[in-house]
Chains A and B, each alone.
Chain A
Amino acid sequence: MGSKGFAPEPISGIVEKVEPLPNEPLPDELGRRLAELLGADRVVTDPVRLRTYECDGLTNHRSTPGIVVLPDTAEQIAAIVRECAAAGVPYVARGSGTGLSGGALPRADGVLIVTSRMRRILEVDIPGQRAVVEPGVINLDVTRAVRQYGYYFAPDPSSQQICSVGGNVAENSGGAHCLKYGFTAHHVLSCEVVTPDGEIVELSADGPGYDLLGVFVGAEGTLGITTKITVRLTRLPETVQTLLAAFESIEAGGAAVSAIIGAGVVPAAIEMMDALSIEAAEAAVRCEYPPGAGAVLIVELDGPEPEVAAQFAQVERLCRDAGAFEIRIAADDAERTLIWKGRKSAFAAVGRISPAYIVQDGVIPRTVLPQVLARIDALSAESGVRVANVFHAGDGNLHPLVLFDDAEPGAEQRAEEVSGAILDLCIEHGGSITGEHGVGVDKSRYMPRMFTEADLDTMQMVRCGFDPAGLCNPGKVFPTPRLCGEVPGVRKGPHPYEGKADLF
């Protein structure tokens, strides 16, 4: 049995990990078989090209894949998975590589299955309010294809111009508007999936039997690879209204959020930025948010016109009551874009005020926001590490940006410590270690702080059902793999390629 398949994933460390290039760059037995299946031009073994796949959107975890394959069809993916299973070689699926938790981090001893060639929108069914797409289709392209009919695909992660729907499925992606519209799980009706056995199966939300789709979405690619996705299309709202409110303090902004939610308004989005992130956005994109603001709040309402008109007036009043010293209302799409510009650029903009930074993703019950922010301030003051805060304020999803100078010895470590302490605050207040970026390799070590051993063991029972050999994106989500007991149908004799060639 290929012991490599069971090698524990190194627990993610503080410093950047760069794994050595594979010793054997030429195609070996597995590589040759894959080339036979797909054609040599769909199999990457050249070390220089392999290096371009060494990380996803989270660049501090790197690992050059053993082989990269670029399949065109579900049948090819199934055949690749069967080859990997027979050889006991781990494999990882990758869409656009925009993930922020190392969920698609390749394995040096494994195959990286890239879905970027599978970009067809197979079907648009407006009467049925759904579309069928391949996994490599870009999120925003779904909306582009159906907007003319008055529809869109609701999940809108900030990477939506480049991220893939397959990746959205793996990560259960959200976005600024998931407060009202929910996550990818709520917008996927079925997935065709290549199982770790190499079979093609359709999982659907309301078919007979277990809702395996429900657990597949958000499993971070550890239960199989989706090859076709039926998404629900959402009717475009009749109107969208956006305002920007400036407050002297985060507390005042937080009070406005509480008042809005308390009044029974469900905005499409409520976003908040603190002074430091405003400063960064200003430096980067000149968003010209009101000067002197300790916090800005962006509130967006959408829906039928009479509904939005009434609630928007209410929101405006609640913001003033909470102490907003300036309110700007977008009169048209151009002004709305301007309001969103600062928020959308916030992560990248922090690069203007700091040489390096960590984007954190944690969740707290929204009502404890003031306490948690005070604790983050205290952490920052004690450590001397600056933290800029950007939040999806409506659902308590924090994105603290922890700033450091990577030229300064020890600075990254201090930043990592502060970043980790923020997650501890989230857990302590009954929240979560990730609201949308996923666990991946980056946060698996935090899982035991949020869940008991029995909790994690139970989740992994699902994994054992799907992937008893543990070859499908191993080392992600869970800090320690569960032994699955008897593995049905798994070869126990000598490795099929044993003695013929070094695997990689």
Chain B
Amino acid sequence: MQPIDALAKVCGDVRPGEPAEGVLGVEPALVAAPKDASEAAEVMRVAAEKGLAVVPRGAETRLDWGTPPERCDLLVDTHRMDGLIEHAAGDLVAKAEAGQPMERLGALLAERGQRLALDVPLPGSTVGGTIATGASGPLRTLYGTPRNLVIGLTIVRADGQIARSGGKVVKNVAGYDLGRLFSGSFGTLGLIVDATFRLHPVPSAAAFVSCQVTGPEDAFDAVQTVLHSAVAPSALEYISPGTVAVLLEGVPEGVDVRARQIAELLGENAEITESAPDGWGRYPDGTTLIDVTAPPPALRDVLTTLGPETAVTWSGSGQGHVGVPTGSTPEKVATVLGELRGVLSRHRGGAVVRYAPEEVRGEIDVWGPVPGLALMRRVKDQFDPDHRLSPGRFVGGI
């Protein structure tokens, strides 16, 4: 039996791929959209039988991240698995299917006064894609990234087995935490089908305090002032070309006082606003996006190295993004990347290219040094011995 027929027997939505659906130019032979976890498991089982290379797809907001797959016989699209399975408001926990858009999940949770404390930098992103790419925004300074908020995960393995880890209680140390392992694994270990998150109450008040800084030294000082204060910001951002902005959340009387405290600390040009400053929670502009791990002391050096022309956003948690200007030559990108890595290695940080034009990708080392790569390969070999899951999309050709 042909793969398409075998898949059609187990899944209600199977069709040939289209050129426009290419993953970084690699056109999928087939696209299957299972309606639930058990259909997804059947699809994966058939893919295993037929030896198909599988790339999971959510809303395609980050399908152009990483490196192209070596092959793509089957795109598994999660858009039909888009439900909120459970929202246990009293327990501050929700379980959503992988294909659910983050904004819709947010809206549903907000009806009960709660939220998943993850920003959505790219509109339309799904729950599964957010986990698979480890995506987050400014709130990571207080709440962390998907690895901190996923408390239970259901996946379909390469062989079609459904496996679950964690559960639906926040406090739980039974067994290995595959939620953290799968966060940022880019579809190379298995297909995420649903996730359970710990939630937080929507704060009753919020305010932004922003100030303009002039140069790396000034930015560093402003950030340090806020970090070591006791106002407990939810987010602390540097947004180029020269804004340091703080988000305060809590009860109205508290936020009021804290906003004034921060404004005083940041000096006379500080401004308190209800809405976020420009660029908040968005990736910087540019055709090459670099993800940086830059602990707070590294901010000054990063900004000095990059100069004022290159767009940067950075969070107080020590994570940020650099956008290399449109039109930069591959050599220019390679130089920027090399300098960044040089500076960041002194701060035990690093830089990974998330997306770049094809001609640039060929000239650069997308991942940089990867400590523990041998172990990663061995874990990959266990989960996907035939290397059929998003092959080539990840570090070291995984």
Contact = CB atoms under 8 A, between A and B. Distances in A.
A17 to B, nearest CB: 22
Interface string A451-484: 1101111110111111010000000010000001
Given A215-B180, A306-B257, A178 B171 contact: yes
Contact of A172 (B173, B200, B229): B173
Contacts of B372: 201-203, 207, 209-210, 212
Contacts of B367: 208-209
A284 interface: no
A218 B168 contact: no
Given A207-B293, A261-B92, A306-B253, A458 B165 contact: yes
A133 to B, nearest CB: 15
Contacts of A125: 295, 297
A430 B167 contact: yes
Given A230-B348, A304-B230, A431-B172, 5 more contacts: A207-B293, A365-B93, A430-B168, A458-B155, A461-B383
Interface of A: 125-130, 150, 171-172, 174, 178, 182-183, 185-186, 190, 195, 199, 201-215, 217-219, 230, 235-238, 258, 261-262, 264-266, 303-311, 363-367, 392, 395-397, 430-439, 443, 447, 450-452, 454-459, 461-466, 468, 477, 484, 488
B228 interface: yes
Nearest to B203: A264
A218 B376 contact: no
Contact of B352 (A174, A190, A208, A215): A208
Nearest to A433: B174
A126 B228 contact: yes
A235 to B, nearest CB: 6
Contact of B174 (A365, A392, A439, A458): A439
16 contacts: A128-B296, A195-B375, A203-B372, A210-B181, A262-B90, A303-B232, A306-B254, A366-B91, A396-B171, A430-B168, A432-B172, A438-B173, A454-B161, A458-B161, A458-B165, A466-B379
A172 B224 CA distance: 29
A209 B232 contact: no
A492 B348 CA distance: 40
Nearest to B257: A306
Interface of B: 88, 90-93, 113, 134, 144-145, 147-148, 155, 157, 161-165, 167-181, 183-185, 189, 200-204, 224, 227-232, 250-251, 253-258, 293, 295-297, 318-319, 347-348, 350, 352, 367-376, 378-383, 394-396, 398
B108 to A, nearest CB: 17
Nearest to A468: B378
Contacts of B296: 127-129
B175 A439 contact: yes
Contacts of A171: 173
Given A208-B395, A210-B185, A465-B378, A237 B232 contact: yes
A432 B371 CA distance: 33
B11 to A, nearest CB: 20
A365 B169 contact: yes
Contacts of A366: 90-91
Given A128-B296, A208-B370, A307-B254, A447 B318 contact: no
Contacts of A127: 224, 227, 296-297
A118 to B, nearest CB: 20
B202 A212 contact: no
A395 B200 contact: no
Contacts of B176: 215, 218-219, 459, 462-463, 477
Q: Which 6 A-B pairs have the closest CB atoms?
A: A214-B180, A264-B201, A307-B254, A465-B379, A458-B163, A238-B230
B174 A128 contact: no
Contacts of B381: 465
Nearest to B372: A201
Given A171-B173, A210-B379, A306-B254, A431 B167 contact: yes
A211 B181 contact: yes
B177 A185 contact: yes
B371 A203 contact: yes
Contact of B90 (A219, A258, A306, A443): A258
Contacts of A217: 177, 180
Nearest to B231: A304
A262 to B, nearest CB: 7
A466 B378 contact: yes
A435 B169 contact: yes
A169 B169 CA distance: 20
A211 B174 contact: no
Contacts of B228: 126, 150, 235
A204 B169 CA distance: 25
Contact of A432 (B167, B189, B231): B167
A52 B171 CA distance: 32
Nearest to A478: B175
A235 B232 contact: yes
B250 to A, nearest CB: 5
A158 B37 CA distance: 40
A282 to B, nearest CB: 28
Contact of B175 (A130, A185, A195, A456): A456
Contact of A465 (B170, B180, B297, B375): B375
A82 to B, nearest CB: 15
A397 B381 CA distance: 36
Contact of A207 (B161, B170, B370, B383): B370
Contact of A130 (B171, B230, B295): B295
Contact of A304 (B174, B178, B258): B258
> Which interface residue of A209, A265, A304, A484 has the most chain B CB atoms within 10 A?
A209
> Which interface residue of B224, B230, B297 has the most chain A CB atoms within 10 A?
B230
Nearest to B89: A262
Contacts of A210: 181, 184-185, 189, 372, 376, 379-380, 395
A211 B230 contact: no
A455 B155 CA distance: 10
A438 B176 CA distance: 11
B370 A461 contact: no
Contacts of B258: 304, 306-307
